[in-house]
Structure 1
Amino acid sequence: MTDQLQQKIDQIKEELQVDFIALALSTVDERTKVRVIRWQYVAGNTNQNYKRIRLQVGKGIGGIVWRTGRAFQATKLQKQPEKLVELPITRMEKLETIVAFPVVETGEVKGVFLLGYRSETDVTEAFLAVAKDKANELVVYL
């Protein structure tokens, strides 16, 4: 299933013409019993630093979307040092504009789907609708 999921991520990146795409999933640390969110499937990355990011619920893009169950959108990120600290994936991948959606199954967040551009980009309502549909398509892989 992991190969299929990576192929789907790659396909969505091409379809939506975004610079970066990622899916975060969570595990519960056996020792601490704390939920840890990690970017596990990516396309368009410039380095492997995303693998080091460990988020908790409520922290970073993945954690915020996981906690709220709502979409998250931000732009002009490289001009906001405080955001670059709070949102490490944007700093590591030099993302300027992002949108993220929860991947929800039966009312429970199963993942976080992130789309990003390395340049300032106007995100239209039509794009948001298509991107949300793509997030919903990922449920069958989880």
Structure 2
Amino acid sequence: MTDQVQQKIAQIKEELQVDFVALALSSVNAVTKVRVIRWRYVAGNTNQNYKRIRLQVGKGIGGIVWRTGRAYQATDLQKQPEKLVELPITRTEKLETIAAFPVLKVGEVKGVLLVGYREKRAVTKEFLTVAQDKANELMVYL
């Protein structure tokens, strides 16, 4: 299943023609009972730093989308130091424009799909619709 998910993430990167794609999944710490969100599958990464990012619900792009169950988008990120602190994946991958979508299963968030560009881009409604459809396609893997 792991290879299938990784292949699907790479396929989404090609189909959407974006620079970076990542899928965040969560686990609950057995001792603290705190949900931890991590970027598990990526395509287009420039380094391995994403592996060290640990988010809580409500923190970072993955955590915000996880908490709200809604899509999130931002642009011109490298010029906003406060955003770079709040959104560590944008800093480590030098992303300028991002959009993130919940992967829902029976109304519950099971993952977060992040797509991004390393340069400033206008994000169209059509692009957001297609990207959300890609997030929905991931549901079968979770």
Write the deviation string for residues 86-122 of structure 1: whole angstroms up to 9, x where unpaired.
0000000000000000000001000000000000001
**Structure 2, unaligned stretches of length 5 or more?**
none
Write the deviation string for residues 40-91 of structure 1: whole angstroms up to 9, x where unpaired.
0000000000000000000000000000000000000000000000000000
TM-score, length of structure 1 as denominator length: 0.99
Do structure 1's residue 129 and structure 2's residue 133 form an aligned pair? no
State the number of aligned residues.
142
Cα distance in 2 between the residues matched to 1:72 and 1:128: 10
The alpha carbon displacement at 1:31 in A equals: 1.3
Question: Hey, which bits of structure 1, 4+ residues long, moved more than 4 A?
Answer: none
TM-score, length of structure 2 as denominator length: 0.99
Alignment of 1:12-23 (within 5 A): 12-23=12-23
Cα distance in 2 between the residues matched to 1:81 and 1:107: 34
Cα distance in 1 between the residues matched to 2:101 and 2:16: 15
Match of 1:53 in 2: 53
Q: Which amino acid aligns with 2:87?
A: L
Match of 1:114 in 2: 114
Q: Which amino acid aligns with 1:12?
A: I
Identity of aligned residues (%): 82
DSSP 3-state at the match of 2:84: helix
The CA RMSD over aligned residues, in Å, is 0.3
